Amino acid sequence: MSTATRTITITDPVGIHARPASQFAQAAAVSGCTVTLSKDPKTAGVNASSILSVMGLGIKQGDEVTITVDGDDADKVADSLADTISKAE
C-alpha cells in the first residue's frame, strides 16, 4: 500500500460547487482507495467520497487543495483525481 498527494489550484470561477463536487466524490468512491481532500494544510482532510464533505470545504477559485490517496495504485488514482477536479465545471 502506498500514499500519494497532489496539490491543485482551483481555476473554476465558481469554485467547487455541486456538480464538480459530485463528480470528484464519485471518482474517489470508485477508486478503491482511501481519499482525503483538504483546503488548509494545517487541518485534517475530509472524506473525499462524500459530496457533502467536499462541498463543506467551501472551495473557491484560487484556493489550493490537497488530495491524499492511500492504497494500491495511489499515484495513478491521485493523478486521475487531480485531473477530475482541475477539469470540473
For CA atoms 16, 34, 47, 8, the dihedral sign is: negative
Given the residues 5, 17, 47, 53, the one annotated as active site: 17
Radius of gyration of the chain (CA): 11
65 is catalytic: no
Spatial distance between the Cα atoms of 43 and 24, rounded to a whole number of angstroms? 20
Distance (Å, whole) CA 82 – CA 69: 11
Cell of 77: 488514482
Catalytically active residues, by annotation: 17
